[in-house]
C-alpha cells in the first residue's frame, strides 16, 4: 500500500476518547453507589456487590448473597470549533457541535459470603470504551470519521479474612474488546468525493488479566483499602478495506487481514473511609493509571507486513477524589463528591480523535432502602473539561486548527438485593 493510504490510517488513531469519562479512553463508571460521591473511597467502601470491580477484599464485609445491577447513561458534550487551515478550506467548515454519541454502560455483580473467612464474587462490567462520529463528508475526514471501542470485563474473585483487621483478595479477568475505525477521504486533490470511505478496519480479541486487593480495618470507624489491576494485551484482529482504487493505494473495497496491538493499562487505587459520627462518613481515593504502556499505535495490514506507527506518548495519570455520605433517616442516605482527573495525553500530540483534557467531577447521589432487604441507588455527575487549542497535520500536509471543549453528564440507577 502506498504512502497515501498509510497516511490516512496513521492520521486516524484506532482509539479515540471523546466519550470516555476518565483519563483517555478509561471508564470510571462501574457502579452507581460510587457515582454519587465521584468514586471517592472505592477501594475502602463496602456498599454492595460492586466491590468486585474496585476491591474484592471488601467482599467479606457483605453478608449472605448479594446482587447489584446497574445502568449508567452517559451524555457527552464534545464540540470542535475550527480556528485555522492552510489549504483554502474555511476554518468554519471544521465546526462540529457533537462528535460523541450518548451511551448506556451496564454492570452486574454478585457476591457470596461462604463463611467467616472466605467470600467469592463475580462481575460483568466495562473499564474502557469510547465512540466518536463525524459526518461522512467532513472536510478533515482523514483525521475524523467514526471510531468505536467496546470492552467487556468478566471477572471472578475470592477474598480471605486473615484476621480482624486484614483481608486480601485475588481475582482473574477475561476482557473482550471490539473496535471499529472508519476514515473518509475528506477534502482532497485526488478527484474523489469527500465521503469516500478510505479506511474501514474492524476487529476484536480477548485477553486475560489479574487483580489483587487488600483491606485494613483500623477500627470500627476507619478503613483503608488498596487494589491493583494488571495490564491486558489486546490484538484487534480483523479485516481492512478501502474504497480507494488500487492505483491510489486502496483495495477497491476488497477485504484484507489487518490487526492492531494495544495494551490496556494497569490500574492501582488507594482509598480511605472514616465514619465521623453515626450519620456522616468521608471517603477519599487516589487512582493511578499506567498509561505509559500506550506510547504508540502500530498496525499491520494485509500479508505484506506493511505497517504504520503513530506516536501517542501517553504519560501515567492520577485521579483524586473526595466524597461524603450522610444518613438522613432510616430510609435515605445522601452522597456527594468531587474529583480531579488528569489527562495522560501529550499536549504536543493532541488530535480530534483523542481530544482528551483534564476534567473535574461534581457528583451527587442517594440510596433509598426498600422492603425485603433491597436498596436503590441514584447518582448524577457533571464533568467539566478544559478548553484545548491545537493544530493537527495530515499526511497531505493540510493543517487543521481546532478549539475543543469536552463536558458530560452521567445519570445512574442501581438495584441491590441481599438474599
Task: State the distance between the two ends of the chain, measured CA to CA, in whole angstroms.
Answer: 60
Number of neighbouring beta carbons within 10 Å of residue 330: 7
Confidence bin at 3 (pLDDT 50/70/90): very low
- pTM given for the model: 0.88
Q: Express each pLDDT in 273-328 by its tens digit.
A: 999 999 999 999 999 999 888 776 666 776 655 545 566 778 899 999 999 999 99
pLDDT of residue 17 exceeding 60, the answer is no
Q: Which three cell numbers stand for residue 343?
A: 489527562
As a whole number of angstroms, the distance between CA 341 and CA 174 comes to: 26
Q: Tell me, what's the pLDDT at 246?
A: 79
Q: Are 388 and 403 in contact (CB under 8 A)?
A: yes
Burial class (CB in 10 A: 0-12, 13-18, 19+), 107: buried
Burial class (CB in 10 A: 0-12, 13-18, 19+), 177: buried
Q: Which three cell numbers stand for residue 371?
A: 422492603
pLDDT of residue 367 exceeding 90, the answer is yes
Q: Tell me, what's the pLDDT at 269?
A: 97
Residues sharing a CB contact under 8 Å with residue 192, sequence separation 6 or more, in sequence order? 185, 244, 248
Q: Tell me, what's the pLDDT at 311?
A: 67
Q: Are 109 and 116 in contact (CB under 8 A)?
A: no
As a whole number of angstroms, the distance between CA 374 and CA 16 comes to: 39
| Strand ranges inside 114-192, DSSP E | 118-125, 129-133, 146-161, 166-184
Q: Are 82 and 126 in contact (CB under 8 A)?
A: no
Lowest average pLDDT, out of 41-55, 119-133, 236-250, 283-297, goes to: 236-250
Q: Express each pLDDT in 167-220 by its tens digit.
A: 999 999 999 998 888 888 888 888 889 889 888 888 889 999 999 999 999 999
Dihedral of the CA atoms 262, 265, 266, 269 (nearest 10)? -160
pLDDT of residue 8 exceeding 50, the answer is no
Pairing of strands 197-219, 222-229: antiparallel
Q: Are 70 and 108 in contact (CB under 8 A)?
A: yes
Burial class (CB in 10 A: 0-12, 13-18, 19+), 347: exposed
Q: Are 64 and 418 in contact (CB under 8 A)?
A: yes
CATH topology of domain 16-239+261-291+312-418: Porin (2.40.160)
pLDDT of residue 81 exceeding 70, the answer is yes
Query: Higher model confidence: residue 33 or residue 10?
Result: 33
Q: Tell me, what's the pLDDT at 88?
A: 86
Q: Tell me, what's the pLDDT at 236?
A: 83
Identify the CA nearest to 172 among candidates 209, 206, 207: 209
Q: What is the mean pLDDT of the chain?
A: 86
Lowest average pLDDT, out of 111-115, 128-132, 231-235, 305-309, goes to: 305-309
pLDDT of residue 10 exceeding 50, the answer is no
Lowest average pLDDT, out of 96-105, 214-223, 361-370, goes to: 96-105
List the alpha helices (DSSP H) in 210-278: none
Would residue 328 be called left, alpha or beta, if left means φ above 0 and alpha means ψ between -120 and 50 degrees?
A: alpha
Residues sharing a CB contact under 8 Å with residue 177, sequence separation 6 or more, in sequence order? 128, 149, 150, 151, 152, 204, 205, 206, 207, 234, 236, 264
- Overall average pLDDT of the 316-343 stretch: 95
As a whole number of angstroms, the distance between CA 199 and CA 196 comes to: 9
pLDDT of residue 43 exceeding 70, the answer is yes
pLDDT of residue 13 exceeding 50, the answer is no
Q: Tell me, what's the pLDDT at 340?
A: 95
Q: Tell me, what's the pLDDT at 147?
A: 80
Amino acid at each position: 500500500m502506498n504512502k497515501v493510504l498509510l497516511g490516512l490510517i496513521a492520521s486516524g488513531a484506532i482509539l479515540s476518547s471523546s466519550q470516555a469519562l476518565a483519563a483517555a479512553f478509561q471508564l470510571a463508571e462501574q457502579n452507581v453507589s460510587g457515582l454519587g460521591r465521584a468514586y471517592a473511597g472505592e477501594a475502602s467502601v463496602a456498599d454492595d456487590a460492586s466491590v468486585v470491580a474496585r476491591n474484592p477484599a471488601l467482599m467479606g464485609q457483605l453478608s449472605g448473597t448479594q446482587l447489584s445491577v446497574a445502568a449508567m447513561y452517559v451524555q457527552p458534550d464534545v464540540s470542535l470549533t475550527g480556528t485555522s487551515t492552510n489549504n483554502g478550506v474555511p476554518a468554519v467548515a471544521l465546526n462540529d457541535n457533537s462528535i460523541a454519541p450518548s451511551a448506556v454502560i451496564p454492570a452486574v455483580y454478585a457476591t457470596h459470603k461462604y463463611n467467616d473467612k472466605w467470600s467469592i464474587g463475580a462481575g460483568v462490567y466495562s473499564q474502557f470504551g469510547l465512540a466518536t462520529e463525524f459526518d461522512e463528508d467532513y472536510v478533515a475526514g482523514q483525521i475524523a470519521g467514526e471510531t468505536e471501542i467496546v470492552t467487556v470485563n468478566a471477572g471472578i474473585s475470592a477474598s480471605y479474612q486473615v484476621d480482624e483487621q486484614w483481608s486480601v483478595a485475588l481475582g482473574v479477568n477475561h476482557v473482550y474488546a471490539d473496535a471499529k475505525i472508519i476514515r473518509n477521504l475528506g477534502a482532497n486533490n485526488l478527484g474523489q468525493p469527500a465521503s469516500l470511505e478510505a479506511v474501514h478496519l474492524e476487529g476484536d480479541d480477548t485477553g486475560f488479566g489479574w487483580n489483587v486487593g487488600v483491606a485494613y480495618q483500623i477500627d470500627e470507624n476507619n478503613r483503608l483499602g488498596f487494589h491493583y489491576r494488571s495490564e491486558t494485551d489486546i490484538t484487534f484482529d480483523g479485516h481492512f478495506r478501502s474504497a480507494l482504487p488500487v492505483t491510489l493505494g486502496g483495495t477497491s473495497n476488497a477485504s484484507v487481514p489487518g490487526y492492531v496491538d494495544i495494551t490496556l493499562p494497569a490500574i492501582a487505587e488507594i482509598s480511605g473511609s472514616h465514619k465521623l459520627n453515626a450519620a456522616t462518613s468521608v471517603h477519599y481515593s487516589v487512582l493511578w493509571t499506567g498509561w505509559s504502556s500506550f506510547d504508540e499505535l502500530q498496525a499491520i495490514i494485509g500479508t505484506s507486513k506493511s505497517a504504520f506507527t503513530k506516536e501517542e506518548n501517553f504519560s501515567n495519570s492520577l485521579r483524586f477524589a473526595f466524597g461524603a455520605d450522610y444518613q438522613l433517616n432510616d430510609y435515605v442516605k445522601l452522597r456527594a463528591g468531587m474529583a480531579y482527573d488528569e489527562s495522560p495525553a501529550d499536549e504536543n500530540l493532541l488530535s480530534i480523535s483523542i481530544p482528551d483534557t483534564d476534567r473535574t467531577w461534581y457528583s451527587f447521589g442517594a440510596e433509598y432502602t426498600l422492603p425485603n432487604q433491597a436498596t436503590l441507588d441514584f447518582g448524577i455527575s457533571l464533568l467539566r473539561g478544559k478548553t484545548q487549542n491545537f493544530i493537527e497535520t495530515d499526511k497531505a500536509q493540510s493543517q487543521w486548527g481546532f478549539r475543543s471543549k469536552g463536558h458530560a453528564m452521567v445519570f445512574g440507577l442501581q438495584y441491590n438485593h441481599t438474599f
